[in-house]
Structure 1
Amino acid sequence: MSALDFANRVRSREKLVGYWVTLDAPPATERIARLGYDYVVLDAQHGLIGYDGLLTGLLAIDAGAALAGGGPVGLVRVEANNATPIGRALDAGAAGVIVPLIDTAEDVAVAVRAAKYPPLGARSFGPMRSALRIDPVPAAANAATVVLAMIETPLGLKNVAEICATPGLDGVYVGPSDLGLALGARFPGDPEIDGPFEEAVELIAQTAADAGIAAGIHTFDGESAQRRLAQGYTFATVSSDLSHLEASAAEHLRVARS
């Protein structure tokens, strides 16, 4: 699908399913992009991907989508809420950015300003590859570019209503590991905070719905993604390439030795 089609589907709160990529392995990313996901995220914050890998990863997503006769768009989880990584990800051809560690509405305004051309923002014009992939006209590029804010900190959770109401924000995205730690978990997935965690997840989904924006969440398997979409989340990302590689290798080893 085109970046504008994807942006419209996000803003219409359609149900979307994506995949998470942490490895700088473009041939593998290309194969994943052929499977039918609506979006593929390249993780530039915690993933093992530099800028060259980011560029080739976005090329691989587009190549896989073309082989499938139409497929996912590429998104980037940038390393920081800063104009430089946001602008570089978008210039490389990302259809949108997921911005981590958002605490306040002011943080969202900074991200939107970095992602949008004037008069909506202050993105510097030098679209490089995005002129071919998204659109060279600033107003059209603004319409096709998605900005998603991660809710994963104590302040982000406290200020979620103000965050969701910030102009220019297309959606929020739950980082479950950091959100759990923010709620007092000893480690990601700590069962002792299941109750507060589920309350927070429900609050975020409902607050986004009340604001009329999309709500997304990272999940660790297809069943969890299905459950979150049924709960009211409008998009869900399934696991990651590295996690699936390890799990598949471990299972084949278990079977071979059994």
Structure 2
Amino acid sequence: MTDTLDTVHAAWSAGRAARNGWLTVPDAHLVEVVAAYAAGHDVLDAVTLDLQHGLFDRASTAAAVRAIDAHGLAPLVRLPAVDEASVGFVLDLGVRGVIAPMVSDVATATELVAACRYPPAGRRSFGPVRTALRPGADPVGSAASVLVFAMIETADALERAGEIAAVSGLDGLFVGPGDLGVALGLGPAQNREEPAIHDAFRRVLDACAAAGTRAAVHATRAEYAAARAADGFSLVTTWSDGPAVLESLDGAREGFRR
């Protein structure tokens, strides 16, 4: 519910990529553990709640946003779809940015921006459930700095990346390598190194550079995310709950065997 510079913008002001965490498990204590540790040990700048493929409902989303916000990180949400009701709900909770899946054309990107901005820039309904709680809060003014990312996950989206990146009010493009790999005939995977994926990365980076917007990318390993930050991505996912749990279980198995 911060009305000042959030931690994503602060990272950009410092000249570095913002580090993003990814949550699919709607457990309030898990969210608090992640947010508290990440903030206290300088691990993450933002935490994204996955409402598309995660298990969050409205109540668990609200609890998670409060936990992330309480520890000073930027709460972000991956939307289930470009839907005004979903957008309005999470923005009224005080999330600092939305990531919209499967945006394949300018019309959908334009709808996304309109849902995120108050009139006259858009058509968002005014209902500041959390964003007006603090004395002196300016929910209309702070709404202008809410981040709006469109995911590039289809062949059509990649082909139109330049047009989509140039949509007024859009902050950038967010590459989803899993779905994009499927769309390109490569199958699903993360942290991937196929030449076609690296070509897609470059096309998105070039589109954002030409439009004056930012590029973001999903990953599940910090080393891979760091390499993408070196490529020029401004927001990189360095940690994700499901893969992290599985990796730690593998480590426990191997550690016990040793």
TM over 0.5: yes
Look up the match of 1:28: 30
Amino acid at match of 2:234: T
Look up the match of 1:68: none
Q: Which moved more, 1:125-134 or 1:168-177?
A: 125-134
Equivalent runs, 1:1-258 vs 2, <5 Å: 2=2, 4-6=4-6, 8-9=9-10, 14-34=16-36, 35=38, 36=42, 37-63=44-70, 65=71, 71-132=72-133, 137=138, 139-188=140-189, 194-258=194-258
How far is the alpha carbon of 1:5 from its aligned partner?
1.5
How far is the alpha carbon of 1:202 from its aligned partner?
1.2
Aligned residues of 1:93 and 1:133 also touching (Cα < 8 A):
no
Listed as ranges, the gaps of 5+ residues in structure 1 are 66-70
Q: 1:92 to 1:186 in 2, by over 3 A?
A: same
How far is the alpha carbon of 1:4 from its aligned partner?
4.6
CA RMSD of aligned residues (A): 2.3
Aligned residues of 1:164 and 1:213 also touching (Cα < 8 A):
yes
Aligned residues of 1:105 and 1:166 also touching (Cα < 8 A):
yes
Amino acid at match of 1:22: T
Q: Percent sequence identity over matched residues?
A: 35
C-alpha distance in structure 1 between counterparts of 2:100 and 2:75, whole Å: 15
C-alpha distance in structure 2 between counterparts of 1:135 and 1:89, whole Å: 21
Q: 1:163 to 1:208 in 2, by over 3 A?
A: same
How far is the alpha carbon of 1:91 from its aligned partner?
1.2
Q: 1:11 to 1:108 in 2, by over 3 A?
A: farther
Q: Tell me the TM-score normalised to structure 2 length.
A: 0.89
Listed as ranges, the gaps of 5+ residues in structure 2 are none
Q: Which moved more, 1:33-42 or 1:3-12?
A: 3-12
Runs of 4+ in 1 over 6 A off after TM superposition: 10-13
Q: Tell me the TM-score normalised to structure 1 length.
A: 0.89
Query: Secondary structure, in 3 states, of the residue corresponding to 2:5?
Result: helix
| Residue-pair matches, total | 251
Q: Which moved more, 1:2-11 or 1:228-237?
A: 2-11
